[in-house]
Amino acid sequence: MIVVLSKGISTHDREMVRIYLKDRGFSIRDQVLGDDEVIGATGKGMVDLRELGILPGVERVAATSKPYELASRESKSADTIVTVGPVKIGGARITVIAGPCAVESKEQIMETALRVRESGAVMLRGGAYKPRSSPYAFQGLGMQGLEFMKAAGEATGMPIVTEVVSPEFAAAMNDLTDMFQIGARNMQNFELLKKVGAFGKPVLLKRGPSATIEEWLLSAEYLLAAGTRDVVLCERGIRTFETYTRNTLDISAIPVVKGLSHLPILVDPSHAVGIRAKVSPAALAAVAAGADGLTVEVHPRPDEALSDGPQSLFPEQFERLMRDIEALAPVVGKELLRTPKPSPVSVVSIGAVQAPSDKDAGNRVAFSGESGAYAEQALVRAFGEDAPRLAVSSFRGVFDAVLDGSAAFGMAPVENSLAGSIHEVYDLFLRYPDIAMVGELKLRIVHCLIGDEKSSIENISIVRSHPQGFAQCRDFLDKHPDWQLEACNDTATAVASIAREGATKVAAIAGEVAAKAHGLKVLKTGIETNPLNYTRFVIIARRNNNELAPVPPSLGSGPPNKASLVFSVSDEPGSLFACLRIMSERGINLSKLESRPIQGKPWEYLFYVDVTLPEGAGIFNEFIGELKSKTREFHFLGSYRASL
C-alpha cells in the first residue's frame, strides 16, 4: 500500500500517519516517488482505507495488488522520466547509450566516445570492473578505467554509466559515475541493491538471465525502497534452450513491463544476441516493441577487443543503426533523443533567431490548441515533457506569441502526407517576415473517434475536428453520411468542447492523448484513411541576423542541412526554368516544389521550395544572391536540420 502525502504536510501530521500505520501492524518506509512524498506500508496489517484517506496530510491511498509497490503502475499511473545530466530516459523519446564492453585504455575509450557521440549517442557505457565467467579473462582496469571513462564523458558532453560489481566499490565509484549499472549476474545481490539505492543516484538494472519479470521488478523495488527515485530497467535476453544466439531476447517483456510498471525500460541487443550481424535487427525490433531506448556495445576495432568483441558494432555499423532508429521513431510515436554537444556548432546565419526579452518566456514554446493537441505532442518530442508551454487559439496566435516575446519558440504544422500543405501557416510566414523556421519534426498522426463515456458510435450525430482532420479521415466519414461535420480551430479544442458540454451525441476526431487529457473515451482508433499519415511540424523563432539559432538539441546537433524558400517569377517563358537551373548548377538538391496562386493577382503564382543545403555557407549564400536576381518576389523562410 502506498500513502501519498499532501504537499507541505506538517511534521506532526506525517508522524501521526506513521503511528497510525504502525499501530495496525504495518512495516513502513518513507520514499519520494516522482514529485510525491509517500509512505510505503507493507506487511499483514489491517486498515480501513477510507479512514486512512481522511487523515490530515493524506492526499490519497493507493492499495496495490503487486509485491513491488513502488515500482508498480498501480502506485503511479504516469510514466517515470529518469534524468541523468542533460539526458532524459522515458516518455516520448528514444535514448541511445553506446560504448565498449570494457574500458581498455584512455585512448580506446576516448576514440569510442567521440565516434558514438558523432553518430548520436547521448550517454557513454563501458565497464571498469568486469564480472567474467572465467577467472582468467580480462577483469577491467578498475578505478583507473573509470577515471578514463569519466574524462571521455566530460570531453564529449555525455553522462557515463558503468557497472558496480561489489558493495565495497560503490562509494568510491559514486563520485565518478553519473549512473550505476547493476549487471545481470548481480540482479539479486540484495546487499548491493540496498547499498547502491541509498546513494540516490540513477540506476540501470539489468534483468538476470533466468529471472522472471516479477523477480526483476522486485529487484527494482529494493533500489526504490533504499532511496533512489530513478531506476531504469534493462532487458538483455534470458537463458533458454536455444544456443544459436548468446541469449534469447524477450521482446514480449517490453510491453508487459510497460503495463506493470511506470519505470522506463531499455534493451541491450548486444548481450541479447551476442552476434554482431544480429544486433541491429534486434535493436530495431526492441524500438518497434516500445522500448524507451537502447544500450549498444561499440568498439573502434572489435577484433582487438579484450571483452565481447564478436557482439560489438563497428562505428560505421552503429551510425547506420542510428539512422534506422531515427527513421523508425516517428512510426512508433517517438523521437530520437539528441543532447547539446560541449563545443559550439556554427550554423548558417540566414534565419538566425533571438530570444525574447521577457525573462520568463525565455524557454516557453507556443502551440495552437488545448491540452493533447498534436502540436503539443510535437512540442514534447522536440523540447521534452518539462518544456514550459503557451497554448493559443490559432496558428496566427503562435506567430504573434513569438513575435511579441511571449514565447521563445512556436510549433506549427506546415504539411500533411495525406492532405498536403497547410496553406494558412505558409501564408503567415509571408505576413510575419521577422519569423523564421529553425527546426523540423515529423509526427505520425493516428486519428481516433472520441466521445463522452456514455457515447457510442450508434448515437453520434455531430463530429468536430480541424478541417485537416476531416480530410485525413475521409473514407471513414464517408461511411457515415448522416453525420454533421463541425470545424474547429484544432483537434484538441474539438475534444475539449465535448468535455465542457458533456455532450453524448457529439464526437471529435483527434489523438488518443487528447482523449486522456480531457477524460473522454476512444470510440474507434485508427480512422485515418491511410496509416502512413504524418504531419510535418516546424519550429519557429524570431529572426536576428547577429545571433545563432538555438535549435532544440533533440532535432540534431549539427548545422542546418535544409532550407525553405518562397518566390515568384516574371510572366515570361523560361523564368521558372532559370531559377531551377541555378539550383542545378550550384549542386543544390530540390526536395519540394509547390505552386500557389497569389491572392489578389489572378494567374500569378508563388513557388514554395525546400532545398538541401550544401556544405559550406558560402556556396548557399551565393546561390541565394543569384536566385534573388531571377525572381520578382523572394522570401527566405529559414534553415534547419531535416527530420528523417
Is 535 an annotated catalytic residue? yes
Secondary structure string (H, E, C) spanning 246-294: CCECCCCHHHHHHHHECCCEEECHHHHHCCHHHHHHHHHHHHHCCCCEE
Please provide residue 582's backbone torsions phi and psi, each rounded to the nearest 5 degrees: -60, -45
Q: Where are the alpha helices (DSSP H) in 546-631?
A: 575-586, 617-630
Shortest CA distance to 143 belongs to which of 175, 118, 167?
175
In the chain, what is the straight-line distance between the N-terminal and C-terminal CA atoms, in Å? 45
Lookup: cell for 290 = 516500445
Q: How many helices (H) and strands (E) does the chain have?
A: 20, 31
The answer to whether 476 and 446 are in contact (CB under 8 A) is no
Is 567 an annotated catalytic residue? no
CA 379 to chain centre: 10
> What is the b/e burial string over 571-598, where b = at least 16 CB atoms within 10 angstroms of the residue's CB?
eeeeebebbbebbeebebeeeeebeeee
Instruction: Return all residues near 594 (Cβ < 8 A) that are at least 6 apart.
Output: 421, 607, 608, 609
Q: How far is CA 54 from CA 27, 46, 514, in A?
A: 20, 16, 32
Distance CA 303, CA 308 (A): 9
Please provide residue 345's backbone torsions phi and psi, each rounded to the nearest 5 degrees: -115, 130
Catalytic option among 399, 476, 537, 636: 537
Distance CA 619, CA 603 (A): 33
∠ at Cα 243 (237, 249), nearest 5°? 20
Helix 253-260 crosses helix 213-226 at what angle (to 10 degrees)? 40
Catalytic option among 80, 228, 295, 535: 535
Sign of CA dihedral 242, 244, 247, 252: negative
Lookup: cell for 51 = 479512514
Distance CA 392, CA 399 (A): 10
3-state secondary structure of 152: helix
Lookup: cell for 156 = 564529449
Distance CA 13, CA 82 (A): 30
> What is the b/e burial string over 360-372, where b = at least 16 CB atoms within 10 angstroms of the residue's CB?
ebeebbbbbbbeb
Instruction: Return all residues near 569 (Cβ < 8 A) that are at least 6 apart.
Output: 575, 576, 578, 579, 607, 630, 631, 632
Shortest CA distance to 280 belongs to which of 296, 264, 257?
296
The set of catalytic residues is 535, 537
